[in-house]
Chains A and B, each alone.
Chain A
Amino acid sequence: MSRDETTNLPAAKGPLVYRQSVWTRATHWVWAICLFFLLLSGLQIFNAHPALYVGQESGFEYDNSVLRIGAVNTPEGPRGRTTLFGQTYDTTGVLGMSGPEASPVYTAFPGAVTIPSFRDLATGRVVHFFFGWIFVGALFVWFLASFINGHLRRDILPAGRDVAGLPRDALDHARFRLHHGRLYSPLQKLSYFIVFFVLFPLIVLTGLTMSPGMDAAWPWLLDLFGGRQTARTIHFGVMVLLVLFFIVHIVMVLLAGPLNELRSMITGWYRTAPGTPREQGDRP
């Protein structure tokens, strides 16, 4: 509180605002851990039958597949092959066949991105369902807390002015002009809205549709998604979208100032941009 410090305070600093409640922060990190394990154990489970179909069942005497990963023998030796929507690609080294040339491994996804690193469907399932329960538990906690503390209304549900401000915000993002305001920008709101209200519920429900027990309890799941195998395909597709979200999320954190962003998700306090109006409860 010396004179020095006050004068040295850059006038170009906005107030430190309490942006993330403990519920948001706790569930954020629980999800980060869950999604890491769910992804890697999920790819292990996928490797047990590396094909995706559309419909109730898997076509063995007819073809209803949309993705197929495997290895084939060619005159030049075995190669990894991936067929997506009828287009076949050589994916040797990544999908279908990977590892050292002397002792390649013929799994769809390589051991570097599966838990365990070798083929073990039973363990993949143990890990997947354990973190699946925690993921869903955190989802319930987050929805309840965010409904009560207003996070949902304030930061997630896009309001009319968010929709109106969307083109401008998208343009600003494209020019890397990121705003460090008190509240989320329209694009941020929309992204998190899609994650929480579309992707998370979809991945949970399509996961449940793969359970023969749940299909008996809730047969509407089969109708909603157009069959167990379609649900499995959607589950995989939503996984891909969540991985894309994760990449964009990390890039945005790095662009927006990783220390400030990390601090807000650990301590809750976020340094706003200069000129942000002060409110009660802010810190200098």
Chain B
Amino acid sequence: MSRLIVNRRRFLLGSAAAGSGLVLSGCNQFDFLAQRGNPVRTAMEQANVLTYSAQRALIGDQVLAREYGESEIRQGMKPNGSTEPSTPEYMFLRQANFEPYRLTIKGMVERELSFSLAELRNMPSRTQITRHDCVEGWSCIAKWTGTPLGPVLDQAGVKPGARFAVYHCFDNIQRTLSGDVLYYTSSDLVNAYHPQSILAYGLNDETLPVSNGAPLRLRVERALGYKQPKYLHTIEIVDDLGPFGLGKGGYWEDNGYDWYGGI
């Protein structure tokens, strides 16, 4: 009996010491979690898959993000990420006031289509005052005007079996020794067809400025900012995200951010 008590006491003291050691020794022993592909990190990333499934089950596909009143626009839209792309293609288009610009819809579609800005502006438009939430934590309310993406995709005719829309952009978000890394991201077809998902060419009643993604940026209002690509030029409908970039479905996703981006 007394032996047991001593053992138990030792055990308790040991656990207390181990616990306080964990707290006191700082945290660089968890830095291994930052290694992309580390098995523990990969296991933890499954929580993001759970979040995606849970939110898709909970949130109706057509449910809208909150829209605000004019009086709640209290400042300009904060530019973030790329604000001045320097690729030759983009510089040329910008110099030509985006006249030669075309948005291309390709991949798993019945007809590959492309649209000029004038054609997109002539389609039915939607204007919405929404809150942009950055993954960093800040928010900014602005008014966006553009063409709903769903009907544009319907014109091209999305083939059965398609699962994702990949958004290709002009901006060189990262410049490396082996060349520019161009921005891209992707969404499921639920977000692509969401009524508030618009190809925006207007911001706060003016033409979308370069710093905010001219000539065209996608709004995906139920997701964070990095899921809302600026400087958009091609939408590719696919059933697999593997072939693009590092295979995670986007530039920031390839850098360890979650693909869903709804939280």
State whether the Cβ of B155 lies closer than 8 Å to any Cβ in chain A.
no
State whether the Cβ of A185 lies closer than 8 Å to any Cβ in chain B.
no
State whether the Cβ of B154 lies closer than 8 Å to any Cβ in chain A.
no
Residue interface mask A205-217, B partner, CB < 8 A = 1: 0001011111111
State whether the Cβ of B139 lies closer than 8 Å to any Cβ in chain A.
yes
Query: With A126-B41, A129-B48, A229-B139 known to touch, is A60 a contact of B78 (CB < 8 Å)?
Result: yes
Contacts of A121 in B (CB 8 A): 135-136, 257
Shortest distance from the beta carbon of B35 to any chain A beta carbon, whole Å = 9
Which of A48, A117, A133 sits near B47, CB closer than 8 Å?
A133
Q: In the assembly, what is the distance between CA of A121 and CA of B26, in Å?
A: 18
Q: In the assembly, what is the distance between CA of A53 and CA of B59, in Å?
A: 27
B-binding segment of A76-84, A107-115, A161-169, A174-182: A107-115
Q: In the assembly, what is the distance between CA of A130 and CA of B28, in Å?
A: 19
Residues A116 and B27 in contact, CB atoms below 8 Å apart = yes
Query: With A114-B27, A123-B33, A262-B15 known to touch, is A133 a contact of B50 (CB < 8 Å)?
Result: yes
Residues A118 and B31 in contact, CB atoms below 8 Å apart = yes
State whether the Cβ of B137 lies closer than 8 Å to any Cβ in chain A.
yes
Residue interface mask A119-134, B partner, CB < 8 A = 1: 0111101110110110
Q: How many residues of B contact A (CB 8 A)?
A: 60
Which of A46, A59, A267 sits near B137, CB closer than 8 Å?
A46
Q: In the assembly, what is the distance between CA of A45 and CA of B263, in Å?
A: 13
State whether the Cβ of B159 lies closer than 8 Å to any Cβ in chain A.
no
Contacts of B72 in A (CB 8 A): 56-57
State whether the Cβ of A232 lies closer than 8 Å to any Cβ in chain B.
yes
Interface size class of A (residues with CB under 8 A): 35 or more
Closest to A123 in B: B34
State whether the Cβ of B66 lies closer than 8 Å to any Cβ in chain A.
yes
**Contacts across chains A and B counted by CB atoms under 8 Å:** 172
Q: In the assembly, what is the distance between CA of A213 and CA of B33, in Å?
A: 26
Contacts of A266 in B (CB 8 A): 11-12, 15
List residues of A (24-65) whose CB comes within 8 Å of B's CBs. 32, 36, 40, 45-46, 48-49, 51, 53, 56-62
Shortest distance from the beta carbon of B89 to any chain A beta carbon, whole Å = 29
Residues A212 and B141 in contact, CB atoms below 8 Å apart = no
Residues B256 and A112 in contact, CB atoms below 8 Å apart = no
Shortest distance from the beta carbon of B228 to any chain A beta carbon, whole Å = 10
Contacts of A123 in B (CB 8 A): 33-34, 41, 256
Contacts of B257 in A (CB 8 A): 121-122, 125
Shortest distance from the beta carbon of B130 to any chain A beta carbon, whole Å = 9
Residues B12 and A213 in contact, CB atoms below 8 Å apart = no
Q: In the assembly, what is the distance between CA of A222 and CA of B68, in Å?
A: 12
State whether the Cβ of A189 lies closer than 8 Å to any Cβ in chain B.
no
Shortest distance from the beta carbon of A250 to any chain B beta carbon, whole Å = 9
Interface of A: prevailing SS: helix
State whether the Cβ of B131 lies closer than 8 Å to any Cβ in chain A.
yes
Residues A213 and B44 in contact, CB atoms below 8 Å apart = no
Query: With A216-B63, A217-B55, A217-B59 known to touch, is A127 a contact of B137 (CB < 8 Å)?
Result: no
Which of A40, A113, A219 sits near B66, CB closer than 8 Å?
A219
State whether the Cβ of A228 lies closer than 8 Å to any Cβ in chain B.
yes
Contacts of A36 in B (CB 8 A): 22-23
Contacts of A46 in B (CB 8 A): 137
State whether the Cβ of A263 lies closer than 8 Å to any Cβ in chain B.
yes
Residues B74 and A61 in contact, CB atoms below 8 Å apart = yes
Query: With A116-B33, A118-B31 known to touch, is A215 a contact of B16 (CB < 8 Å)?
Result: no
Contacts of A224 in B (CB 8 A): none
List residues of B (55-114) whose CB comes within 8 Å of A's CBs. 55, 58-60, 63-66, 68, 72, 74-76, 78
Residues A56 and B131 in contact, CB atoms below 8 Å apart = yes
Residues B48 and A57 in contact, CB atoms below 8 Å apart = no
Residue interface mask B208-229, A partner, CB < 8 A = 1: 0000000000000111100000
Residues B34 and A116 in contact, CB atoms below 8 Å apart = yes
Q: In the assembly, what is the distance between CA of A220 and CA of B74, in Å?
A: 22
Residues B140 and A60 in contact, CB atoms below 8 Å apart = yes
Residues B263 and A222 in contact, CB atoms below 8 Å apart = no
Residues A117 and B28 in contact, CB atoms below 8 Å apart = yes
Residues B44 and A127 in contact, CB atoms below 8 Å apart = yes
Given contacts A112-B27, A216-B222, 7 further A-B contacts (CB under 8 A): A57-B131, A60-B75, A60-B140, A116-B31, A116-B34, A126-B47, A266-B15
Q: List 8 A-B contacts (CB under 8 A).
A: A59-B75, A60-B78, A111-B26, A121-B135, A127-B33, A130-B46, A210-B133, A266-B12
Residues of B within 8 A of A (CB): 8-9, 11-13, 15-16, 19, 22-23, 26-28, 30-31, 33-34, 41, 44-48, 50-51, 55, 58-60, 63-66, 68, 72, 74-76, 78, 131, 133-141, 221-224, 252, 255-258, 262-263
Of all A-B residue pairs in the complex, the 3 with the closest CB atoms, nearest first, are: A213-B262, A122-B256, A61-B75
Residues of A within 8 A of B (CB): 32, 36, 40, 45-46, 48-49, 51, 53, 56-62, 111-118, 120-123, 125-127, 129-130, 132-133, 208, 210-217, 219, 222, 228-229, 232, 258-259, 262-263, 266-267
